[in-house]
Structure 1
Amino acid sequence: MSDRFPTIRPTRRLLLGTALAAPALLAHPARAAGEVIVRTPGGTYDDVMRRHVYDPFTKETGIVVRPVAATASKLLAMFRANNVELDLIDTGDGQLLTLERMGALAPIAYDKWRWSKGEDITPEVRRPQRVANFVYCTVLGYNKEHFASGAPNSWADFWNAGKFAGPRMLSDMASGSANLEFALLADGVPKDQLYPIDIDRALKSMDRIRPQIRRFWDTGALSAQMLSDKEVVAGSIWNGRLQVLIDRGAPLAYTWNEHMIQVQALGIFKDAQNVQGAQQLIDFMLQPEVQAKYSRDLIYGPTNMKAFPLLTAEERARAPGGERSMQTGFYQNATWWEDNRDRVNRTWSRWLQR
């Protein structure tokens, strides 16, 4: 599971089979009828969603929303043990695809929506059993002071350590995926021909830049820290993590060229105790006015196309999935990654040990 947000709160854990459960769940042996339990990334994300989604939803419907933290492995174990202790899953699209293929997810009731309209959701992220609540992206970030005379503007530039010298970073598989797409772009592969990924070619491209890689980051927090502390002067980083540093005055910047758009999505356990409440929460969360508010605070892009006009021109310009983003970026193929994750993990581990 990737860490696109600040550290997950450790105070709540989910009951899995005979594993120990946290007091938060044990205190509610009989679930309240008016409660939806949501798996979230935790931390600041929960604060933003409570302000713009959970509390307004409770006021509108009387249904209480309770966020909890759970890793991908816990979600899988919960389903396999037939011991579903939550209703709505808010996580990376690839993780939901895995659950969908296991038969764990209920259909999204688009035809029952009353706050939102299914046809307003970007088609690329609207699926029968999962729907995106926002998109984020991985960009090429850099230190403006270090590159005062000219900054890298493509992954080919990033790979050109002679012209754009300095320590770098890229993502590790532990972050969710390694930056194989960027390695191929640097090697001359067009954006629309990245998939299926040629793993061998990508790693051969990685060989060329590896001496300049100070570290392969495994969390969003680490990537932000390395760039902020000048441990590296350029690297891949999630746009939200980088924008926070820029807004605080750090001498950092990024290029929109060749950024990778990624998806955070919603799915409902088919055996959840409150499927209906979870359906309502998705509907409420994706309405334009609500989505514009939390997308603005998270610095990510809305998936309801009618939310974009509610953002300022500046907010739209820096929103993944917007008009500018679609012209210069590309969607990561979550299906390819889930189909090939085990193979890439093995190959990546061997490559790192060389």
Structure 2
Amino acid sequence: MALTKRLALRAALLLAAFPIAAQSQDIPENLKGTGEVVVASYGGAWEAAQKLAYFEPFTRDTGIKVVLVTPEDGQILASVKLGQPAADIDSITGGQLSGFLNKDAVEKIDYSFFGKETLAGIPENLRHERGLGAVIFSVVVAYNTNKFPEDGKHPKNWADFYNVEEFPGKRSLPSCNAMINGGLLEGALLADGVPPQNLYPLDMDRAFAKLKEFAPNVGRWWLSGADAPQSLINGEVEIAAAANGRIASAAKEGAPLALSWDQSLLLYDYWVVLKNSPNKENAFKFLAYISRPEPQAAFAKAISYGPVNKDAFKLLPKEVADKLPGAPGIAEKQIFQNHDWWGHTNSDGRTNLEVAQERCFAELAQ
């Protein structure tokens, strides 16, 4: 059996061993219903953790079936424009929200389905009128420990990532469409010597110059977050920009992977309900259900991402909480990604993200 298949099987068995998130009797009547809700999901350990903590308990406790779809690149916004959204719910980065708002692609979230205690546990900036905090995670420098032993010389920051003389081997970087989730421009600028405190506003000219110079060393431009750890496991690359939780999950199951928190980027995603969703009410019920502390804690136990509801930390063992993005000892090494800059709308109506992606496709020929 291939290593990746063995890891997937082990992950499924391990996740099954976690306690279920919440019991049926704890669920408010207003969250129960019938029918389905269609959720865009993106595979790997991320999806496995969501199934454990969110999807399966939600269906069990409410009677509403969760249907998963994996939209192709660009399909979500195109489907909304046609009036036939490919899903009821999608998760997007904080920097993407402005672009979705500009295109009138998302519904207002009906917070009346949420319990008062649930809302009190979610920070105000993650309770947007049209977006609800989904997860807090980090983009890290990850590496294969067969090539770079954890107790020996290994890459620790973005300067090391771009240093192929000291750390030879192919790299995995996010594709143009995944540039926010993979910290593409931020990593290039930090490697080029920009101090973290001077990172924003991002100097696109300098970033793309660095990336074009470095491009021959890239063995995989990843689109899905699951691609980065897989490219490390199968030997396609030796070092990757990756989400911390995916690397930690693979390492827990025996993959020869490790990560460094130095100069890691701290990000957050939003859940959005797509415009004209056919199962809109069920979508609001789903978001209200998974935002409670118990499902949030179950998700954090299953994959090393920070919960959005701060009350979930009360339910987490110290050894789990201490390894989450933003935890004491980790936060001091991290850099907050500036979602406001990425989402800023310019005079031509395009966000900085849209401008950067257009340049990326043109200059990196992806």
Specify if TM > 0.5. Answer: yes
CA shift, 1:289, in A, is 1.0
Residue 361 (structure 2) pairs with residue 345 (structure 1): no
Residues in 2 aligned to 1:43 and 1:164: alpha-carbon distance in whole angstroms: 30
* Structure 1 residues 273 and 142: CA distance shift in structure 2, 3 A: closer
Q: Check 1:133–1:236 CA distance in 2 against 1; reply closer, same or farther (3 A cut).
A: same
CA 1:107–1:72: 2 relative to 1, 3 Å? farther
Q: Could you list the per-position Cα deviations for residues 31-55 of structure 1 after superposition, in whole angstroms to 9, with x for gaps in the alignment?
A: xx72342322154555543443334
Deviation at 1:199?
Answer: 0.8
1:87·1:272 contact (CA, 8 Å) conserved in 2?
A: yes
1:175 and 2:187 equivalent? Answer: no
**How many angstroms apart in 2 are the aligned matches of 1:101 and 1:123?**
22
Change in CA separation of 1:228 and 1:49 when aligned onto 2, cut-off 3 Å = closer
> Counterparts of 1:263-278 in structure 2 under 5 Å?
263-278=268-283
- Which residue of the partner structure matches residue 229 of structure 1? 234
Q: Distance in 2 between matches of 1:49 and 1:350?
A: 35
Unaligned runs of 5+ in 1: 1-5, 7-32
State how far apart, in whole Å, the 2-side matches of 1:245 and 1:48 are: 13
Q: In structure 2, what residue type is equivalent to 1:308?
A: F
SS in 1 for 2:128: coil
Q: Per-residue CA shift, 1:107-156, capped at 9, x if unaligned?
A: 33345521753232234433221012212222101233433432222212
In structure 2, what is the equivalent of residue 3 of structure 1?
Answer: none
Is 1:219 paired with 2:224? Answer: yes
Write the distance in 1 (CA, Å) between the matches of 2:231 and 2:296. 31
Change (3 A) 1:78 1:233: closer
Taking a change above 3 Å as real, the CA distance of residues 195 and 48 of structure 1, as seen in their structure-2 partners, is same
- State the SS of the aligned residue for 1:220: coil
1:35·1:66 contact (CA, 8 Å) conserved in 2?
no
Aligned residue for 1:38? 38
Q: Which residue of 2 aligns with 1:284?
A: 289
Q: TM-score, normalised by structure 2?
A: 0.75
CA distance in 1, matches of 2:175, 2:193: 22
AA in 2 matched with 1:126: R
1:145–1:34 CA distance, 2 compared to 1 (3 A):
closer
What is the one-letter code of the residue matched to 1:259? Answer: S
Which of 162, 167, 170 aligns to 2:165? It is: 162
CA RMSD of aligned residues (A): 3.1
| Secondary structure at the counterpart of residue 133 of structure 1 | strand
Cα deviation for residue 230 of structure 1 reads 3.3
Cα deviation digits, residues 285-337 of structure 1 (max 9, x gap): 01111111123223322111111232222322332244444332233334544
1-structure distance, mates of 2:261, 2:198: 19
Return the offset for 1:233. Answer: 2.4
Q: How does 1:182-261 map to 2 (within 5 A)?
A: 182-207=187-212, 209-261=214-266
Q: How many percent of aligned residue pairs carry the same amino acid?
A: 29
> SS at the partner of 2:109?
coil
